[in-house]
Structure 1
Amino acid sequence: MEIHRDIYKFVPEKKTAIALGRFDGVHVGHMTLLNKAVEFARENDFLSVCFSFREETYPGAETRGVLTTEKEKLDLIRDAGIDVTLHPAFAPPLTEITHDKFLHGYLINQWKAGMIIAGYDFKFGKNREGDTDFLRKEGEKRGVKVEIVRPVTSEGEIVKATIIRGLLRDGLLDKANRLLGRGYSVTVKQVPGRRLGSRIGFPTLNFHWPEGKVPLKYGVYAVRVRSFALRDDPSEKIKPSANGVANFGLRPTVDEGKRTVPVLEVHILDPGKMIDLIAEPPSPDTDFTVEFVSFMRNEQRFETLDSLKSAIDEDVKKAREIMAIRV
């Protein structure tokens, strides 16, 4: 997939099917738009294109948080089959372009849109003056097919990134995952730990939570871990996976209230699979994706390490039971 952050230089050689939206989280509603663009492009020998501003550059993003980092978002869009993603920052001079100029000057004239797909509540252009009615009307004049996707619902509720953020913070992971259409995940790099887990029989992979990404409720989770390690062939990504149990939070038992930044620690249930996953020392070329499958319990402070060890024993048993039915 081609990625263009300088969108002014993108001039395709053939017509395009363009999906428009924010795509934070790339949830089931977003996937409907992307799938329509890919399908139409394949049927008509077009390029499939996604236009989406970088979420972290929107006003208020630092407070609101993002469901997907830039890398995570682009990886998910790539996996959907999109050929090209236009991914600029939400900043002038682009944000000063009128809706009329954006549609006619860029979407249709420069990017050769023959098909435009947008959500029911899509707004665009300076002061958000462009809407779906404008897209339909002007598209018809220019001979451009426009499809406006109706709200996607789950259990009677419209799927929105705002709702998913709240569910994750409240520990309602199962419902959040249904709206996402997959397990909420984080892509991170391994960092050295203090090996406290190894001392009590539960070695862990240790990760920092990405700055600006929506955090989970502090607690213990059943997880699935994949590593993406560049080996002998730089073009080949090895993707082993393993089930695990993770703690996300401030580690109150061992850090005694001194920690202010949450950490993610993952214990792999099958020790043999650790060999495929880890690099010693941690390699800067290895990304790990931790998928959160089920919320098990809140993070707790234990009076002794023996009490902590007993609790982890129970967590491991429960995680095995969960992962046995979550293939």
Structure 2
Amino acid sequence: LPYPQMESKLQAEESNRTAMREFVLLGFSDILNLQWVLFGVFLLIYMIILLGNGIIILITRIDPTLQNPMYFFLGNFSFLEICYVTTTVPRMLKDICTKKGNISFLACATQLCFFLIFGGTECLLLAVMAYDRYVAICNPLHYPLVMNQRVCIRLVAGSWISGLPFEIGQTCQVFSLSFCGANTINHFFCDVLPIIKLGCGDTSVNEMLVYILSVIFFMVPFLLIVTSYGKIISSILKISSARGRAKAFSTCSSHLTVIILFFGTAAITYFQPKSNKSEGLEKLLSLFYTILTPMMNPFIYSLRNKDVTVALKKLLPKLL
């Protein structure tokens, strides 16, 4: 007698797995009275990101004084920021507007894959930009030779391409899990850990693989950045004049600010102990590194960089 019951239970579980063809993103549905306020705020932020980073791309392409490796990387970084934010924000705006968070398996997997690709590329590109500043300040005489156009293109291409097999592989690994029972994701986009939580059975191996890849694409670039800036600061302190030190530091201060904002919030989100994690806090921190930091980047680079400020002053009258 127990065997038919067990068989029917397994069949029901299997039908649950096969029937589940979509997830539901809860987003900010817990604050229904503020939905249209959130929609307006996030739409405004998205427009600022597109406009701000678009202007940075434009001035680094057309202004003759910004035709050097530092601004070549900055233009590519701004383009990456637009791609990175577009992965999550338009979908989130649609969900707020329609009050429905239904997302198909394929759409969720696609969003996660592109989010991982752009996030991994951002970590690598920030490390490349730190190396560029290291060469410029520590080996200024060799800078034009070391950071020639061919090397710059290869470094940017490497940042985009090198992580693709890992990030696509991680997406396939996450979506190869069996999902049964609840299909609600308490997040505003398809992120790795919230999806793994919905998996049936023991998912500790999957979580371990997430942390291993996080270390590779987060800690390795971060250590390269720390090493580069350690040598940069050491070289700056050896400069005899205060004016020379200030000028050398000003060329990398904006980049350093962006690094602290991006790596700081991402580290708290992904490397926080599981016992201390709150889903509300996780969503709030995710907002910082997915939306607020990309919005602040154009302001940081334009306000703290004299060359960009001068180029903007020349461009804005033409646009207006």
Please state which band the TM-score falls in when normalised by the shorter chain.
Answer: under 0.3
Task: Name whichever structure is richer in helix by fraction.
Answer: 2
Task: Name whichever structure is richer in strand by fraction.
Answer: 1
Greater length-normalized contact order (CA 8 Å, ≥ 6 residues apart):
2
Q: TM-score, normalised by structure 1?
A: 0.22
Q: TM-score, normalised by structure 2?
A: 0.22
